[in-house]
Amino acid sequence: MIDFPEIFMRCMNIILINEGGYVNNPSDLGGETKFGISKRSFPNEDIKNMTIGRAIELYYYNYWIPMDLAGINNAELVLQILDFGINTGIRTAIRLIQKIAGVEKDGIMGPVTRRAINNFSGDILLLYKYGRREHYRSLVKNNPQLNIFLKGWLKRIDKTKF
């Protein structure tokens, strides 16, 4: 059994609720999903029979470790960044926080980005949530068929909290 970091597991408790169970919506570009794990992203996984434990492992190795969020002092912000990374992609989520923090937007969480986040003088969480909303609205503007997901995406931002 893997000894996952406490903050990661706190995030998982919220994200797994956000993601829900098995869905196979033909309008979802990810295709068949369960616990937010999509067939498109994980074509070799048995999505329909996925266990929560397997979903957590996939999130840990494919999102948590590559996103390198340890060391960010604001737990709510960590949750928002991880949730956004799972929903839209790691680099998109990190580039947004880098834009807000005023550092190079390379999509990689490193010591310069972490330091800028931790030393940010404004309400970085509020700004990040606003940025997420704008991202989703932009997606729908560029692809109107995604409008069926907009209300859920926006609601997700507000309910993603400890």
User: Domain range for residue 94?
Assistant: 6-159
| pLDDT, tens only, 128-155 | 999 999 999 999 999 999 999 999 999 9
- Band (pLDDT 50/70/90 cuts) for residue 29 is low
Residue 13 within a domain: yes
Tell me, rounded to whole angstroms, the distance of Cα 73 from its chain centroid.
17
Residue 1 within a domain: no
Tally of domains within the chain: 1
Extract the tokens encoding 157: 């931002």
Q: What are the CA-CA distances from residue 14 to residues 35, 65, 82, 116 (Å)?
A: 11, 18, 11, 26
Round to whole Å and give the CA distance between 66 and 79: 15
Report which residue type is found at 65: I
Residue 96 within a domain: yes
Round to whole Å and give the CA distance between 82 and 16: 12
What pLDDT, on a 0 to 100 scale, did the predictor assign at position 2? Answer: 83
Residue 142 within a domain: yes
CATH code, domain carrying 61: 1.20.141.10
Q: What are the CA-CA distances from residue 112 to residues 8, 42, 45, 98, 103 (Å)?
A: 22, 31, 36, 10, 8
Whole-number percent of the chain with pLDDT over 70? 98
Residue 61 within a domain: yes
Smallest CA-to-CA distance from 78 within 158, 11, 3 is with: 11
Q: Is a pLDDT exceeding 90 seen at residue 53?
A: yes
The pTM of this model reads: 0.94
| pLDDT, tens only, 67-94 | 999 999 999 999 999 999 999 999 999 9
Tell me, rounded to whole angstroms, the distance of Cα 30 from its chain centroid.
15
Across all residues in the chain, what is the average pLDDT?
Answer: 95
Dihedral sign computed on CA atoms, order 27, 33, 36, 37: negative
